[in-house]
Structure 1
Amino acid sequence: MIYLDNAATTSILPQVIEAMTLHMAENYGNPSSIHGIGRIAAKSLRESRQTIAGILGVPAISITFTADATEANNTAIISYAIANIERGKHIITTSIEHPSVLEAMRYLEERFGFEVTTVTPDPDGELSAKKILSSIRSDTILVSVMMANNETGQILPVKEIGQALKDKNIAFHVDAVQAMGKIPVLPLEIGADFLTASAHKFHGPKGVGLLYHSDKYKFDNFMHGGDQENKRRAGTENTTSIVGMAKALEIAQANWKVNYKKVQQLHERLLSNLNGLNFYQNQFGTVSMPHVLNLGFSGLRNDLLLTKLDLAGIAVSTGSACTAGAVEPSHVLESVYGGNSEKLQENIRVSLSEINTLQEIDQFTDILKGFL
């Protein structure tokens, strides 16, 4: 199998598996226990938090561990909005966000009467900071914009937005899931008040994520029970996976420049191999991550192409893995092309990792050509 669906999830690095295995075998204590075995587990938890905080350039106390980025996004959006409802009920986001953001917004609208302005891209797919910021009102309390899009690789102007919101008493949430571990992610530099990530997107384990939160804005607890995570998130921490996430991010941080360059080479090789064929690229905005290519093939249905590629040992997708189970039209492409565009039935997403090889790219494109 040639795996080219790294935006959905990544394989776990051997060094991460080793770190997790050692911890699982020797450090099985509950970090909330006061006895010696518990204190050893608490030390691992504390060290992992400090490692991640150091990489992000933030205080360790500002990191809360979650089960995944979906929980982290829901916590940032819903818990903040409810805690600050007296300040206003208007929120701004974009139409190309991950479902865990868009559905959280929908919940606030339907359950609590919030008004959400969902900013759509320009006809060329551009989403400028100016367009997003132009929706600000006197009752706006939150702006939520992803750092890099999971279906097209488009990088959004989060730093420009963060700077503009700095003195406006409006919280800024950044979904950094697709950027974390691939490029530097520094919440303070971006101006993010909330920032979320998930370990399994950068060669760590599934079932663990993180929420960065500044001390500028209050937010309610999303999980209730014990006093874990500095009383921010109840429930016994998944310490083994947290150790794995810290290790994976540490490795990614140490090698990001080399890894980024390798992915660029894979990206260029893939497009070069397809040169002259009847395809188009769904690439929007001025800057994109090389890790994601969204390709369209005129007149060829993507469900049929995905099936053929799968049978040939190639793993790709059409978009967000959270819509798995059916090949549904991409809401990201629909935001640009409209709901009636044939392009919604023609795209596939190829997402790359530094673990992929040029040989795999050549094999993939050779097989793909046979289906076009």
Structure 2
Amino acid sequence: MVKAKRFILVKRFVGFPKPTDLKLVEEELPPIKDGEFLAEAIYLSVDPYLRKKVSSFPVGDTMVGTQVAKIIESKNPKFPVGKHVVGQAGFGWRTHTISNGELTAEGLNSAVLIDLADLPLSLALGILGMPGYSAYFGFLEMLQPKAGEWLVISGAAGAVGNVVGQLAKIKGLKVIGIAGSDEKGKWLKKELGFDHFINYKTQDVGAELQRIVPEGVELYFDNVGGDVSTAVMNNMKTFGRITSCGSISNYNDTELKVVPLQHALVSRQLKMRGFQIVSLANRWNEAFKQNLEWIQQGKLKYRETITEGFHNMFNAFIDMLNGRNFGKAIVKV
């Protein structure tokens, strides 16, 4: 018998998540059945969307999340022992998982990870995983960028934002990144090639945008929502385009806040589109192959913030929500 550890939801988050909202428990797993496999977690992902997603989960369920795991036992020929799998729905914050790899109600299934050669397996949770897919489709397909245009990215040093900026430079755009520390700004400009950086904690976003691009910007990739997004939209050109990928600035609010975006949307006749990357799950392989090619060509760089130890899942989650991560936040078991 294999003993698994998992974090279960004891209480739905109210405001900022608290350690007492989750509980680390141990359970004994049954023998696998025909068509099933047993996987042992190696890397687990902590992402902003998890904060919002948990609000609809039943108390007592395993905390949701994606992981890279190694198949250690199998009665399913599609999932042979020794291979690695990207486990999504049905896995979550747990050390060992029994799965059949089939599609879930969300349209997600487990997938055997292709050989990444000398690249870290953890990239399947970041630039070669859902954040990379969000950047690829959210920028290239939703915004339809043109060389020479100005792009603003909020949450620019996060798992999605930093990739969006690099894709924009590959496509010949001028990029302004918004994040919460000067250290992140140095990384974005010196290592990733962003043209400008704005620290939203110490600078006036609207005033800085007027200084940098007084005529207004064409594109905005939004990861945060809130006051930052209002400031950006008020400094966009007429018929500007916006992709809304997330709104981490209000995920921990206990009351719904009305953000005055409508004036900018109407007066500048902006086009704004939100998206959920799971709706494009049938095309993820396209983004995987292209991002992998750009990494191998040296056009895309990656950075990870790795926390050691499964017992530190909650700490890594909180650090990510507080913006302490550079690039993708990951836990190594």
Q: TM-score, normalised by structure 1?
A: 0.34
Larger helix proportion, structure 1 or 2?
A: 1
Larger strand proportion, structure 1 or 2?
A: 2
User: Which structure is richer in relative contact order (CA contacts within 8 A, separation 6 or more)?
Assistant: 1
Q: TM-score, normalised by structure 2?
A: 0.37
